[in-house]
Chain A
Amino acid sequence: MKIVIRSTVIFFSLLLMACGGKEEKKKEGFSVDREKTKTEKPVEAVAATSTVSPSERVDLENKGVGPIKSVTLSPDIDQALAKKGEEVYSQMCMACHRVDKKFIGPAPTGVLKRRSPEWVMNMILNPEVMVKEDALAKELMAEFNGAPMANQGLNEDQARSILEYFRTLE
Chain B
Amino acid sequence: MKKYSLYLVAVLGSVLFLSGCGNQNGNDSSNGALASNNAEKVYVAPGEHDEFYAFMSGGYSGNVAVYGLPSGRMFKEIPVFSQFPTNGYGYSEETKPMLETSFGFVPADDSHHPDISQTNGELDGRWLFINGNNTPRIARIDLKTFETAEIIEVPNSAGNHSSSYITENSEYVVAGTRFSVPIPQRDMPIKDYKGNFKGALSFISVEPETGRMDIKFQLIMPGFNYDLSHPGRGKSHGWFFFTTYNTEEANSLLEVNASQNDKDFIAAVNWKKIEEYVENGGGTMVPANYTHNVYSDETHSATSTMKKEVLTVDPTKVPGAVFFMPTPKSPHGVDVNPTGDYIVGNGKLSADLTVFSFDKMIAAIDGKKYDGEAYGLPILKFEDVLAGQVKSGGLGPLHTEFDGKGNAYTTFFISSEVVKWKVGTWEVIDRKPTFYSVGHCMIPGGNSRKPFGKYLVSMNKITKDRYLPTGPELEHSAQLYDISGDKMELIYDFPTHGEPHYAAAIPASILAPKSQKIYKLAENEHPFATKNVSDARVVRDGNEVHVYMAMIRSHFTPDNIEGVKVGDKVYFHITNHEQDFDVPHGFMMIGQKNSGLLIMPGQTKTSVWEPKKEGVWPFYCTDFCSALHQEMQGYIRVSPAKSNIDLSWSLGE
Question: Does A5 lie within 8 Å of B534, measured CB to CB?
Answer: no
Question: Does A95 lie within 8 Å of B533, measured CB to CB?
Answer: yes
Query: Which residues does chain B contribute within 8 Å of A146, judged by CB atoms?
Result: 627-628
Question: Does A153 lie within 8 Å of B580, measured CB to CB?
Answer: yes
Query: Which residues does chain B contribute within 8 Å of A96, judged by CB atoms?
Result: 552
* Complex Cα gap A90–B530 (Å): 12
- Whether A94 contacts B534 in the complex (CB less than 8 A), given A9-B33, A104-B555, comes out as yes
Give the number of chain B interface residues (Cβ < 8 Å): 38
Residue of B nearest to A128 (CB): B580
Question: Does B553 lie within 8 Å of A147, measured CB to CB?
Answer: yes
Question: Does B577 lie within 8 Å of A19, measured CB to CB?
Answer: no
* Complex Cα gap A91–B577 (Å): 8
Interface 1/0 per residue, B520-550 and A, CB below 8 Å: 1110000000011110000000000000001
Quick check: is B518 within 8 A (CB to CB) of the other chain?
Answer: yes
Of B19, B21, B579, which is within 8 A of A150 by CB?
B579
- Whether A147 contacts B628 in the complex (CB less than 8 A), given A5-B33, A8-B12, comes out as yes
* Complex Cα gap A167–B228 (Å): 68
Of B4, B15, B577, which is within 8 A of A92 by CB?
B577
Of B12, B518, B550, which is within 8 A of A12 by CB?
B12
Question: Does A9 lie within 8 Å of B32, measured CB to CB?
Answer: yes
Q: How far is the CB of A60 from chain B (nearest CB, A)?
A: 29
Of B11, B16, B32, B577, which is within 8 A of A15 by CB?
B11
Within 8 A of A (CB), among B1-46: 4, 7-8, 11-12, 15-16, 19-22, 31-33, 36
Question: Does A91 lie within 8 Å of B12, measured CB to CB?
Answer: no
Question: Does A150 lie within 8 Å of B534, measured CB to CB?
Answer: no
Query: Which residues does chain A contribute within 8 Å of B626, judged by CB atoms?
Result: 147-148
- Whether A150 contacts B12 in the complex (CB less than 8 A), given A9-B32, A145-B628, comes out as no
Q: How far is the CB of A159 from chain B (nearest CB, A)?
A: 13
Q: How far is the CB of B213 from chain A (nearest CB, A)?
A: 32
Quick check: is A152 within 8 A (CB to CB) of the other chain?
Answer: yes
Question: Does B552 lie within 8 Å of A4, measured CB to CB?
Answer: no
Query: Which residues does chain B contribute within 8 Å of A150, judged by CB atoms?
Result: 552-553, 578-580, 583
- Whether A92 contacts B521 in the complex (CB less than 8 A), given A150-B552, A150-B553, comes out as yes
Within 8 A of B (CB), among A52-107: 90-92, 94-96, 103-104
Query: Which residues does chain B contribute within 8 Å of A151, judged by CB atoms?
Result: 579-580
* Complex Cα gap A26–B533 (Å): 46
Question: Does A15 lie within 8 Å of B555, measured CB to CB?
Answer: no
Of A11, A90, A148, which is within 8 A of B12 by CB?
A11
Query: Which residues does chain A contribute within 8 Å of B367, judged by CB atoms?
Result: none
* Complex Cα gap A145–B531 (Å): 26
Question: Does B522 lie within 8 Å of A91, measured CB to CB?
Answer: yes
Quick check: is A1 within 8 A (CB to CB) of the other chain?
Answer: yes
Quick check: is B554 within 8 A (CB to CB) of the other chain?
Answer: yes
Query: Which residues does chain A contribute within 8 Å of B554, judged by CB atoms?
Result: 147
Question: Does A19 lie within 8 Å of B16, measured CB to CB?
Answer: no
Q: How far is the CB of B549 from chain A (nearest CB, A)?
A: 11
Quick check: is B557 within 8 A (CB to CB) of the other chain?
Answer: yes
* Complex Cα gap A104–B626 (Å): 13
Q: How far is the CB of B641 from chain A (nearest CB, A)?
A: 34
Question: Does B4 lie within 8 Å of A12, measured CB to CB?
Answer: no
Question: Does B521 lie within 8 Å of A11, measured CB to CB?
Answer: no
Query: Which residues does chain B contribute within 8 Å of A104, judged by CB atoms?
Result: 555
Query: Which residues does chain B contribute within 8 Å of A91, judged by CB atoms?
Result: 521-522, 531-532
Question: Does B579 lie within 8 Å of A92, measured CB to CB?
Answer: yes
Question: Does A8 lie within 8 Å of B579, measured CB to CB?
Answer: no
Quick check: is B652 within 8 A (CB to CB) of the other chain?
Answer: yes
* Complex Cα gap A154–B20 (Å): 60
Q: How far is the CB of A74 from chain B (nearest CB, A)?
A: 27
- Whether A15 contacts B8 in the complex (CB less than 8 A), given A4-B19, A146-B628, comes out as yes
Seed contacts A91-B521, A150-B552, A151-B580; 4 additional CB < 8 Å A-B pairs: A8-B16, A12-B36, A16-B8, A146-B627
Chain B residues at the A interface, C-beta cutoff of 8 Å: 4, 7-8, 11-12, 15-16, 19-22, 31-33, 36, 518, 520-522, 531-534, 550, 552-555, 557, 577-580, 583, 626-628, 652
